[in-house]
Amino acid sequence: MKRYMRCVGVWLLLAGLLVSCGGGGGGGDSPGASAPPANTPPANTPPGNTPPGNGSPGGTSAALRVEESDVAAVSFSGNWSASDSRGGWSGGTAKESSQKGAMATFTFTGTSVRWLSSRGRNGGIALVRVDGGPAKEVDLFARPNDELHTPAITIYDLSPGQHTLTIEVTGDKSDEASSSSTRKVVVDAFEVNPQIVSHVQEADPDATYSAGWTQAPNNFNWSGSGAFNAGELPPGAKVTEKADASVTFKFRGTAISWSGYTGPDAGIALVRVDGGAPREVDTYSSEIKVQQVVFSAGGLTDAPHTLTIQATGRKNAAASAAKIFVDAFDVTTPGRRHEQGDVRRARHFEDGDTTIDYFGAWNHNDARVWTEEASATSNQPDATVTFAFTGTSVSWIGCEKASAGGQAKIFLDGVFVKDVHLFRRNPIEGFQRTIFRADGLANGRHELKIEVTSTDSTYVVIDAFDVRP
């Protein structure tokens, strides 16, 4: 383990403390880019790690991913430089700028678009526009470390046809950022007509580890690291060198990605989806990369699935060790996500008639472990949130852990459905977790209401709502 810690260097920040309630985030054609077929790995998947071809032809196809390096679709003006190569960027690279007025422009054809970026202590503020319309401010500040290839903003309900997304660097920063903040804006990639993605940490209740796994040192810039409350384990990563040590992750969705680590001391794993044929994944690389997507599988049906990662104890001939790291999982599901927004006011969403209304004492919570960094939290009995939507399915995305282990009642269309208790004993922590899902609704207008019933000061988290047409 000493060798592993020495190779980190000074690039990565030490984890810090988030004093507020921590918790869970979660096509058309574009010029110069073509949609990948089902079961094709992302560009940053190590060679030879093509995911298993066990996806159902009936599964929803993946969103179109366009890298920042696609000169036919993406252009830059002003001073932009390459982001640190040790980050697990989509496609292997990203660009960043702190220059006021620097611009990134993405031309695409579709009805929705997502910008993938980075959030961290040096994150600045950008203005985002579509087709020259009103600007939306995006604050990329987060503490304490960087979250890579993460959604910065998703814009829905565009008219069919070609559009232009612009990202303008303001040179400004959050009031919470330090005076030494570089105020950088990162452009990693774009997704056209994106699906819903939930970013799940390694300590999720649905991840089961066999003997042989330990918590990786927290001086690495792991996904979600540093977002924790006193007495709780900071989100980080699990590591093993033990042959046959395995982790099983249960999920419901149409695609799954495993984020980990590649480096000179990383080994070989076997990966299975739903007990299918194993695929060998060699996580060795001469240079360290963290928050690296090392395996992806798509084309699955929107149904329960199981991902199994098994360490082999074997390694590349050039590797110094056979370590396997599990940092996080990305679960893709069809539909559209409505963020909880700023709890200080009711927010009108993309289609103009969907609202989330908060009643009682709710707090705004910023942390990288939430969907697009924001959530609403309350531990006050009788505080309520009401979500009006149009669709046949709805999900409440929240959190299950010790400090976010509150209780709530759920009502659908005015009818009581169930009580929920969100407590999970340390070190289990479920971020961006589906707390409640209702399917098979009549295609029309509905109302989901959540009422806080906690009596022990534990919090209920509203991270987002997922709606399916």
pTM score, whole prediction: 0.81
Tell me if 44 is assigned to some domain: no
Are 244 and 322 in the same domain? yes
Contacts of 303 (CB under 8 A, 6+ apart): 252
pLDDT tens by residue, 101-133: 999 999 999 999 999 999 988 999 999 999 999
Going by the DSSP 8-state scheme, the letter that residue 159 receives in this structure is: P
21 falls within a domain: no
Indicate whether 114 and 225 sit together in one domain. no
Q: Is the residue at 56 inside a domain?
A: no
Domain boundary, last residue among 148, 165, 194: 194
Together in a domain, 303 and 211: yes
CA distances from 453 to 379, 405, 413 (A): 8, 11, 19
103 with 213, same domain: the answer is: no
Strand pairing report for 113-119 and 196-201: unpaired
Both 278 and 392 in one domain: the answer is no
3-state secondary structure of 47: coil
Q: Do 413 and 447 belong to one domain?
A: yes
* One domain, residues 266 and 319: yes
Ranges assigned E (strand) in 301-392:
303-311, 324-326, 328-333, 336-339, 347-348, 355-359, 363-366, 374-378, 384-391
Tell me the CA distances in angstroms from 166 to 31, 76, 102, 272, one per residue in order: 16, 10, 10, 40
C-alpha–C-alpha distance, residues 96 and 265, integer Å: 29
Question: Residues of the chain whose pLDDT is less than 50?
Answer: 1-62, 342-354
149, 189 Cβ separation under 8 angstroms: yes
SS3 3: helix
Taking the C-alpha atoms of 44, 58, 200 and 91 in order, what is their torsion angle to the nearest 10 degrees?
A: 10
Domain assignment present for 27: no
Phi and psi (nearest 5°) for 91? 75, 0
Residue 35 belongs to a domain: no
Domain with 418, as residue range(s), is 336-468
pLDDT at residue 232, rounded to an integer = 66
**41 found inside a domain:** no
Q: Are 193 and 111 spatial neighbours (Cβ–Cβ below 8 Å)?
A: yes
Beta bridge partners of 262: 289
Backbone angles phi, psi at 3, to 5 degrees: -60, -40
The residue from 156, 173, 194 where one domain ends is 194
Q: Is residue 49 part of a domain?
A: no
Tell me which of 306, 333, 360 is where a domain ends. Answer: 333
DSSP for residue 4: H
Per-residue pLDDT at 436: 97
Tokens at 344, concatenated: 């200080």
CATH number at residue 463: 2.60.120.260
Q: What is the pLDDT of residue 231?
A: 65
Q: Are residue 144 and residue 241 in the same domain, yes or no?
A: no
- Residues 236 and 299 grouped into a single domain: yes
Q: Which helix (H) or strand (E) holds 6?
A: helix 2-6
Tokens of 7: 């190779």
DSSP structural state of residue 268: E
Regarding whether 355 and 463 lie in a shared domain, the answer is yes
Buried/exposed code over 33-60 (b: 16+ C-beta within 10 A; e: otherwise): bebbebbebbbbbbeebebbebbeeebb
Separation CA 219–CA 210 (nearest Å): 24
Query: Is 249 domain-assigned?
Result: yes
Domain identity same for 87 and 101? yes
**Does 378 share its domain with 406?**
yes
- When divided into structural domains, the chain yields a total of 3
